[in-house]
Structure formats: structure tokens, C-alpha cells
A and B are shown apart, each in its own frame.
Chain A
Amino acid sequence: MIAGISIYEILTVTSILFFIGVYGFITRKNLISILMSVELILNASVINFVVINKYLYPDILQGVYFSIFIIAVAAAETALAVSIIINLYRQIASVEVKDTEIMKY
């Protein structure tokens, strides 16, 4: 654990990061920007897993395993989302949310 830093301060920082991500998710109008906001949200939750493991249960490593799995799923999700966005751009020449109305092309 970090000397002189309590768990409350780290959880405060991650909560702020999480809500910045939520703000970006709602206000952005572009698919790639929305993807980036999702990355912010995921990262905030990963820090929470690690910090709670380290501060409250230092003898076990469950939080680390879960954070590794979250990072793997986030990488897979980003790869798929980027490929979908590129395919969408080929078909309708735009990645704005307002142009993405139909699911079947």
C-alpha cells in the first residue's frame, strides 16, 4: 500500500475518473469518442479492484486476477468495436451517432 495515502483518497480519485467517463459517454456525438469514454470507465473500475485487494485483503490475489481478465476483455472489445466502426464508415461514410440509425444494412 502507498505510505500516507488512505483508501478513501484513492477511491475518491477513481470515482471522479468514473464519472468523467460517464459524462463523456453521454455528451460525445462520435463513436470513437464514446469508445474512449468506455475505456476510462473500465480503467476506473480496474483500479478499484486492485486497490481494494491491496488494502483490505493483502494475502490473496483475487483482485489482480480479475483486473487481468477485465483488461483482456477490454482489449477484445476495443478490437471488435474498431473493426465495426471501420466497416460502418465504409458503408455510410460517417461515424457520427446521429447517422447510425439502422442495425441491418
Chain B
Amino acid sequence: MEQIIFYILALIMIVFAIASVTSKKMLRSVIYLLFTLCGIAGIYFLIDYNFLAAIQLTVYAGGIIVLIIFSVVLVHHIEMELTLAKRSKQILTGLACLIGLGIFLTTIYGHQFNVVENSVTTTTEDIGYGLLSYETGGFILPFEVISVLLLASMIGAIVIAKGKKLTDKNDTTL
């Protein structure tokens, strides 16, 4: 049963990812990306990381896709068609990607993984204790650093998106 679900999810992810990078309509390609991200959340559910699946659904499907749709609607007409690369360039890039994929797959299948058979369910409690522990192997410092990074990038985004008016005002006062 889980096997069938995994194969369906993998098929959905790959088909919609290809559709997302080859579609000519901008907004449609964003929606295809949304389906791919939902498929990835499904993989997390299958593998029993419910917390990460919830993060994936809220941050990616809820936040980033809406942000990208907003930017698309702000800078384009909805029906605007994209200019595609030249056919020769597409074929060349596809060939290079296939070669890279072949190298990846030969490396992966040539390596012997020491798979540990288990059915551990990770609870959100474990993740929370690990993120906030300050003992050896704890992640309190990166956690704080990432929160400062998020704050700084949000302020930076506001300043950049606000644009010219802010800088003009600053110039006159200086």
C-alpha cells in the first residue's frame, strides 16, 4: 500500500516539476510548482515526519507560493507568455542534465548504504527539545542565529521593496 502511494507521489512530483520548468504560461508554472511541493510534503508524511510535513505545507505551499504569485501578478499580465530559450540550447542543457543525472545515479547505486531497519516515529517534542538544548549536540546557537537572520532579511526586504522614496529622504537629510 505504502509502496503504491510512494510511486504515485513520485510520478506526480516529477511530472509537475517538468511541467513547471517547461510551461510557457507564468502563473500555470507556479501552480505546477505548488503540486510538486505538496507531493514532497506527502513524502514527509509517508516517512513519519509529521512536523516537517506541516512546515513544508505552511511555509512552502502557504507562504512562498503565495509570495511568488503576488510577485507574478505585480510584474506581469496573468496571460503573459514567457520567451523560451533556443531549441539548440534546450537540447544541450537537457543532455548535460541527463549526463549529470547518470553520474549521480551510478554513484548512488554503486554505494552500499548501511540501512537500519526501524519504525521510529519522530514526535514534535523530540525536535523541540533538540533545537533548544544547550548540551553537546544541541542546536540552540544555530536556532538563535537563524531567528536573527530571518529578522534581518525581513527588514532588508521591506527596505528594498520600499525603494526610492526612502533613499531620497535619506539623501536630503544627510
Q: How far is the CB of A96 from chain B (nearest CB, A)?
A: 7
B174 interface contact, C-beta 8 A: no
What 0/1 pattern do residues 56 to 69 of B give for CB contact below 8 A with A?
10011001100110
Asked if A50 and B118 sit within 8 Å, CB to CB, the answer is: no
Taking a contact as CB atoms closer than 8 A, the residue among A18, A65, A78 that contacts B131 in the complex is A65
- Provide the residues of chain B in CB contact with A13, threshold 8 Å: 10, 13-14
- Provide the residues of chain B in CB contact with A68, threshold 8 Å: 52, 55, 127, 131
- Provide the residues of chain B in CB contact with A69, threshold 8 Å: 142, 146
Chain B residues with CB under 8 Å of chain A are 2-3, 6, 10, 13-14, 17-18, 20-22, 26, 29-30, 33, 36-37, 40, 43-44, 46-49, 51-52, 55-56, 59-60, 63-64, 67-68, 70-72, 74-76, 82-85, 89-90, 93-94, 97-98, 100-101, 104-105, 108-109, 113-120, 122, 126-127, 130-131, 137, 139, 142, 146, 149-150, 153-154, 156-158, 160-161, 163-164
Write 29 A-B pairs (CB below 8 A) sorted by A numbering. Answer: A1-B117, A2-B6, A9-B10, A11-B108, A19-B98, A19-B101, A20-B17, A24-B21, A27-B93, A28-B82, A28-B85, A32-B71, A33-B21, A43-B40, A46-B40, A50-B44, A51-B47, A58-B118, A58-B120, A61-B122, A64-B49, A65-B142, A68-B55, A73-B149, A76-B150, A76-B153, A79-B67, A80-B156, A84-B160
Beyond known contacts A2-B6, A95-B76: 20 more, CB 8 A cutoff: A2-B46, A6-B115, A18-B104, A19-B104, A20-B21, A21-B17, A26-B93, A27-B89, A29-B83, A30-B83, A32-B71, A33-B26, A50-B52, A55-B113, A55-B116, A57-B116, A65-B139, A68-B55, A72-B146, A80-B157
